[in-house]
Amino acid sequence: MSQQPTFFPKVQAICERFEQLTRQLEDPEIVQDPAKLAKAGKERSELEPLVNAYREWLECERRMADARELMREPDPEMAEMAREEIEHCQERMRQLEEEMKILLLPRDPLDEKNIMLEIRAGTGGEEAALFAADLFRMYTRYAERNRWKVEILSLSESGLGNGIKEVVALITGNEVYSRLRFESGVHRVQRVPVTEASGRIHTSAATVAVLPEAEDIDVKIEDKDLRIDVMRAGGPGGQSVNTTDSAVRITHLPTGMVVICQDEKSQLKNKAKALKILKTRLLEMEREKQEAAIREERRSQVGSGDRSEKIRTYNFPQDRVTDHRIGYTRHNLQGVLDGDIDDIISNLRAFRQAELLQAGTES
């Protein structure tokens, strides 16, 4: 028998819970209750990867025991095969133990949330607005790859029309926040602008904020805390300007937070979108307060979590993208802007998991 890791009692308890849920899903009483059935099914599916890893570990242990028996055979060829099997099993068991450690990490309850994606042009004038548009296209393409839905809630275009001063979009789908949570921060681009005749490289920036979507159960807003103003919508260059008072500005009096929506021709739709954005920003404000209180004990994001820090550089002359938080660099920048960012996101998530594992060993 192999020496079992110290965390295995916790794994075995989860396996027992998994079996209990399996029996529940076969219980006629549970089957007839859609809410209970869905809840039990969801919990079971979340535990299944850990249970499968543990079962494979036990199978490797059994195969290794059989191989040790074969090592006693006088046939040298058979003994060599048994030795190779033991080495293979030992390596696979080490891999499975690391996988199980990660699967045992507590899940962030926000991971399953949809997100509010906010992108704003920073320093760099029109070039920054063009870069903000590039980033929004990148996330839109990535969303398409994951079959997520993107809904623009608010959009302010630049004077030339193909750049973005600010965009707020709702992205809905499976594990959206879990995958995009580390995109918050300052993104920097280095390239020769189309308007630059001398060929000089310019540096521009845009900020990205990824906020878990607030639901009614998360944030309660009293009517008395809101001031709602309606006004005539405006647009770039006099185009697409509504001639009715359909634009809505909501001011949250306790915080002074202001949200304006004017993209819809319906005042009611603009109000609904503005409220959604306001709730999400208030939820993020509250979350940041809570995290600030415990930041000394554990970091909640890759890096310092400060949105003012430069997190990534997109260098066109060198055809590379570098994430400064983890020192990860890759080439094929156009592929990145086309939404091929799975490797960057996977490396950021792996770094975060390593931090959590390290924190667990130190506590």
DSSP character string of 181-244: GGG-EEEEEEE--TT-SS---EEEEEEEEEEEPP-TTT----GGGEEEEEE----GGGTT--SS
Burial class of 84 by CB neighbour count within 10 A (0 to 12, 13 to 18, 19+)? exposed
pLDDT of 238 reads 40
Q: What is the pLDDT of residue 290?
A: 65
- Residue extent(s) of CATH 1.20.58.410 domains in the chain: 8-103
Question: How many CB atoms neighbour CB 240 within 10 A?
Answer: 13
1 Cβ contact list (under 8 Å, min separation 6): 61, 65
How would CATH label the architecture of 115-356? 2-Layer Sandwich (3.30)
CB 192 within 8 A of CB 203: no
What is the Cα–Cα distance from 245 to 350, expressed in whole angstroms? 49
Which pLDDT score, from 0 to 100, does residue 121 have? 92
Distance CA 198, CA 187 (A): 25
CB count in 10 Å sphere of residue 329? 14
Q: Rounded CA gap, 182 and 300, in Å?
A: 10
Per-residue pLDDT of the chain (363 residues; tens, 9 = 90+): 567 888 888 899 999 999 999 999 988 888 888 888 888 888 898 899 999 999 999 999 999 999 998 888 788 888 889 999 999 999 999 999 988 888 887 777 777 788 889 999 988 888 899 999 999 999 999 999 999 999 998 888 887 668 999 999 999 998 899 899 999 999 999 998 876 767 788 899 999 988 888 765 566 788 888 898 888 766 544 444 445 678 899 899 888 889 988 878 888 888 888 888 888 888 888 777 766 654 443 344 444 334 446 899 999 999 999 999 999 999 999 999 999 999 999 899 888 888 877 766 554
pLDDT of residue 304: 39
Q: Tell me what pLDDT residue 298 has.
A: 37
CA angle (347, 111, 186) in 5-degree steps: 55
Angstrom distances, CA of residue 271 to CA of 7, 208, 212, 227, 264: 51, 24, 20, 12, 9
- CA–CA separation, 240 vs 362, rounded Å? 58
- Helix/strand/coil percent split, the chain, to 5: 50, 20, 30
What is the spatial distance between Cα 119 and Cα 125, in angstroms, rounded to a whole number?
15
- Residue 276, SS3 per DSSP: helix
What is the C-alpha separation between 187 and 204, in angstroms, rounded?
A: 9
What is the CATH code for 8-103?
1.20.58.410
The C-alpha atoms of residue 77 and residue 72 are separated, in whole angstroms, by 12
Query: What is the C-alpha to C-alpha distance for residues 158 and 170, in angstroms, rounded to an integer?
Result: 21
Which residue intervals of the chain bear CATH 3.30.70.1660?
115-356
The pLDDT value given to residue 236 = 46
What is the spatial distance between Cα 279 and Cα 201, in angstroms, rounded to a whole number? 40
264: three-class secondary structure by DSSP: coil
User: Are 226 and 250 a contacting pair, CB within 8 Å?
Assistant: yes
**pTM beyond 0.85, yes or no:** no
Q: Which long-range contacts (CB under 8 A, 24 or more apart) does 315-324 make?
A: 315/189, 315/190, 315/191, 316/189, 316/190, 316/191, 316/192, 317/190, 317/191, 317/192, 317/201, 323/347, 323/348
Task: Please report how many Cα atoms fall inside a 13 Å half-sphere around the Cα of residue 123, on the Cβ side.
Answer: 10
Residue 343 pLDDT: 94
Strand partners, 320: 315, 331
Identity (one letter) of the amino acid at 153? L
